[in-house]
Amino acid sequence: MAIIETSKLTKHYGRIKAVDGLNLKIEEGEVFGLLGPNGAGKTTTIKILATLLDPTSGTATVNGFDVEKYPSKVRESIGIVFQEPSTDELLSGYENLKMHSMIYGIPKSEVDKRIEEALSLVELTERKNDLVKTYSGGMRRRLEIGRGLLHRPKVLFLDEPTLGLDPRGRETMWGYVQRLVKELNMTILLTTHYMEEADALADRVCIIDHGKSVAIDTPENLKESMGGDLVTIVSDSPKIGEVKKLKFVKKIEKLDGKYLITVDSAAENLQELLKKIGKVDCVEVRSPTLADVFMKNTGRGLEEAEGGWFDKIVQQSVNKQ
């Protein structure tokens, strides 16, 4: 049985559908990524699963418990790290965890052991007595993950876990997430708008846009769905008719004055492709990415989606909740 399951999950803010008929099945021990631009409905989905928002319609279960009928059981089953920092910077790392262990109702006899385990896992033992205001952004995120593990949840929600971190801090955080999975066999649902993050961490990815799932599969399968390698060509007078006759050419698109050609094995066939197409000003060859999958399924790039008016309205509505 899936440890997280949603059926036609929907959340409206007036006429805006932040989540629109979302169907998910997430298995125990899986790292599942919700990938999409800001305002796509990712955080709203997590808030519903964490019983912080009621759905407008549809159903959702976590660890076998309906989020509306058994919210307390759901909360016992989950740990959560949201985008916004929520540790008290005037307390030490240890004091933050001790305070939250009391909120979670952890038995007094277990508190110190649980705290030490959490600090060790996120490698903050040596800084446990330092005030959180002296921590770096990455250290604060790690402390919040440690806090979310105190009550040993079945599921951990990570909402944009590397938001605001530099590339090095982001890669370090990926290592901690991978360690959680390896050492604790924990189910993790993470949201991100970083394509490379979903590719690096997730067993499966759901690309979500305007509250809807537009594709669900492993990152490898999603990229393979593009049908081959991608060759981008800039040319004033390409012989497209000749290129279409080539058996290894799967698809030709024109985007912003460039020709995007999907081919089987660019390494083997690029030379013949260039002979047929004629004079070119520029050529780029690469394997498909999740960004390409996003564009294929939404008709626009992630940067365009980030700047859309729809997404801004949805995000403003979500932030008011």
| Tens-place pLDDT, residues 90-105 | 999 999 999 999 988 8
Radius of gyration of the chain, Cα coordinates, nearest whole angstrom: 23
Q: What is the pTM of this model?
A: 0.82
Residues in a beta bridge with 5: 25, 61
User: How many independent structural domains does the chain possess?
Assistant: 2
Looking up residue 88, the CATH number of its domain turns out to be 3.40.50.300
The answer for residues whose C-beta is within 8 angstroms of residue 99's C-beta and 6 or more apart is 88, 91
In a domain, 321, yes or no: no
In a domain, 51, yes or no: yes
Report yes or no: 247 and 205 within 8 Å, Cβ to Cβ: no
Confidence check: pLDDT of 30 > 90? yes
CA angle 136, 320, 197 (to 5 degrees): 45
Residue 22's closest CA among 43, 159, 153? Answer: 43
In a domain, 148, yes or no: yes
Question: pLDDT confidence of 164, banded at 50, 70, 90?
Answer: confident
Residue 47's closest CA among 4, 5, 82? Answer: 82
pLDDT score, position 303? 61
Pair 114, 87 in one domain:
yes
| Tens-place pLDDT, residues 202-246 | 999 999 999 999 999 999 999 988 888 889 999 988 899 999 999
pLDDT mean across residues, the chain = 89
Pair 161, 272 in one domain:
no
Per-residue three-class SS string for the chain: CCCEEEEEEEEEECCEEEEEEEEEEECCCCEEEEECCCCCCHHHHHHHHCCCCCCCEEEEEECCEECCCCHHHHHHHEEEECCCCCCCCCCEHHHHHHHHHHHCCCCHHHHHHHHHHHHHHCCCHHHCCCEHHHCCHHHHHHHHHHHHCCCCCCEEEEECCCCCCCHHHHHHHHHHHHHHHHHHCCEEEEEECCHHHHHHHCCEEEEEECCEEEEEECHHHHHHCCCCEEEEEECCCCCHHHHHCCCCEEEEEEECCEEEEEECCHHHHHHHHHHHHCCCCEEEEECCCHHHHHHHHHCCCHHHHHCCHHHHHHHHHHHCC
Looking up residue 257, the CATH number of its domain turns out to be 3.30.70.920
Confidence check: pLDDT of 58 > 50? yes
112-128: average pLDDT = 93
Pair 78, 215 in one domain:
yes
pLDDT score, position 166? 87
- Residue 10 belongs to what domain range? 4-222
| Tens-place pLDDT, residues 247-291 | 999 989 887 788 889 998 888 899 999 999 989 999 999 888 898
Pair 242, 98 in one domain:
no
Pair 113, 192 in one domain:
yes
Tokens encoding 314 = 């949805």
Pair 192, 265 in one domain:
no
Pair 129, 189 in one domain:
yes
Pair 79, 138 in one domain:
yes
